[in-house]
Structure 1
Amino acid sequence: MPFVGLTGGLGSGKSTALAALARLGAATISSDAVVHELYGSQRVLDAIRERWGDDVIAPDGGADRGAIARHVFSAPAEREWLEQMLWPLVGERIWAFRVEQESADPAPKATVVETPLLFEAGMDGIYDATIAVVADESVRAARAAARGHEAVDERAARQLSQDEKAQRATFTVRNDGTEADLEAALSSVLGKLTASR
């Protein structure tokens, strides 16, 4: 079955696209959700507390992602340390998910991994195909602001432009309209992916 990387800029609607792909019969996983899970693990909590102190631990005992963002987004060495710790763990979890889906019955139409920094991290080579979700800049800015993202400018600066993502992706899907429009476009992409197998 096709192994697909889904990406897009901040506020482009990657999570909405991932949910639509799940409704269309794909097995889906979000690398951000995996990171969120890892932030609840004792191994990661111990490492970040040792690195940055108690201010990165939330009152409930989990990781305070806002505090972590403040440490890493303006300090490349800190971000690199965090990524070097997390990315191998994320890779293991995604690989296990892929293997699990290959023996699923019924088999999903595709296995899709939402990976925000797919091209930036050089991960596009592991996928059979990639999908870039793009949207008008004003739409993206409004969505990002509505979600209260920490350090939006720093996050955006780390990413390739939408045009570059679109040029490098196997498929590009616009997300300026309704959710139904997005789902229809993704249904077409899934059809092409499964037809080519």
Structure 2
Amino acid sequence: MPFVGLTGGLGSGKSTALAALGRLGAATISTDAVVHELYTSDEVLGAIRERWGDDVIAADGSADRGAIARHVFATPAEREWLERLLWPLVGARVWAFRVEQESADPAPKAAVVETPLLFEAGMHEMYDATIAVIADESVRAARAAARGHEAVDERAARQLSQDEKAQRATFAVHNDGTEADLETTLSSVLGKLTASR
């Protein structure tokens, strides 16, 4: 079963691609979703509250991701602290996901992990193949704005350019058309991945 890393810049359509791969028979997980889950754990909530105070805790007791983003993108040291807290926990969850899929019956066509900073964090080496989702800059900007991302410029500055991601990836998938177009392209990629195993 191919173990695949999926990445792309802000607004490229990574989550849409992940959902399409799920419909096509792959098992999928998003590291962003894992982080969301971790932000509800006592371990992480306690650590961020101790580091930054009550302003990073929402009224319902969950983590306030917008407030966290403001701290994290303020200085590299704060971002690095949060990464040291979260990345080992995310890595453990991704590994558990892979182990689960290895013994799944029926086996999925592939196990795909969506990771925005796949190349930047040096995580690409753990995968059998990588997919970079890319889109026209104007399309990406409109999507990112519509989703109301906090600190868009700071997030984008931390990422490699689309061209760099595309060059490093096993497969570069353009996502300027419809979701049906994207799914057709991903179906072809999935076919190539499974044929090579």
Match of 1:105 in 2: 105
**Structure 2: unaligned runs, 5 residues or longer:** none
Which 4+ stretches in 1 moved above 3 angstroms?
none
Any idea what SS the aligned residue of 1:117 has?
coil
- Maintained 8 Å contact 1:21/1:186: yes
Where does 1:28-107 land on structure 2 (aligned, <5 Å)? 28-107=28-107
1:28 match: secondary structure: strand
Corresponding residue of 2:2: 2
SS of equivalent to 2:49: helix
Give the distance between the partners of 1:159 and 1:28, measured in 2 at CA: 22
Which residue number corresponds to residue 135 of structure 1? 135
| 2:46 is equivalent to residue 21 of structure 1 | no
Q: SS of 1:130's equivalent?
A: strand
The 5 Å alignment of 1:109-124 reads 109-124=109-124
User: Within 2, Cα distance between the matches of 1:191 and 1:143?
Assistant: 29
Q: How many residues align?
A: 197
Q: Deviations over 1:96-129 (max 9, x none)?
A: 0100010000000000000000000000100000
RMSD (Å), alpha carbons: 0.3
Over the matched positions of the two proteins, sequence identity in percent amounts to 88
Structure 1 contact 45–62 (Cα < 8 Å) conserved: yes
- Distance in 1, matches of 2:167 and 2:196, equals 21
CA distance in 2, matches of 1:102, 1:122: 23
Match of 2:188 in 1: 188
Name the TM-score, length of structure 2 as normaliser: 1.00
Give the 3-state SS of the residue equivalent to 1:167 in structure 2.
helix
User: Is contact 1:9-1:133 (8 Å) kept?
Assistant: yes
2-side partners of 1:190 and 1:32: how far apart? 22
Q: Distance in 2 between matches of 1:65 and 1:184?
A: 34
How far the C-alpha of 1:49 sits from its partner, in A, is 0.2
**Secondary structure at 2:59 match in 1:** coil
**Alignment TM-score, normalising by the size of structure 1:** 1.00
Deviation at 1:74, TM superposition (A): 2.2
Q: Which amino acid aligns with 2:125?
A: G
Deviation per CA, 1:60-118, whole angstroms, max 9, x where unpaired?
Answer: 10000000000001210000000000000000000001000100000000000000000
Mind listing any 5+ residue stretches in structure 1 that lack a counterpart?
none
